[in-house]
Structure 1
Amino acid sequence: MAFNPVKQRPYGEPKEVVARLFEEVGGIPKVMELLDLSRTRVYALADPDSTNEISYARVCTLTEDGATAAAQHLAALAGGLFVPLEKAEDADWLALAGEASRRNARNIAALMESLSETARSPGEVDQQEARDLLKILDEQLGVLAMQRAKLSLIASGELEDNANG
Structure 2
Amino acid sequence: MQRIIKNGQVLDETWHLLPKDASLDGLPNCGDYIVPLALWREHSHALKARDGGLGVWLDADEEIEEIADHLDDFQVIALNFPSFTDGRHCSTAYLLRNRYAYKGEVRAIGDVLRDQLFSYKRVGFDAFALRADKDAEDAIKAFEEFSEVYQASTDQPLPLFRRRA
Would the TM-score normalized by the shorter structure come out above 0.5? no
**Larger fraction in helix:** 1
User: What is the TM-score normalised by the length of structure 1?
Assistant: 0.25
Q: Which structure carries more strand by proportion?
A: 2
Higher radius of gyration, 1 or 2: 1
TM-score between the two structures when normalised by the length of structure 2: 0.25
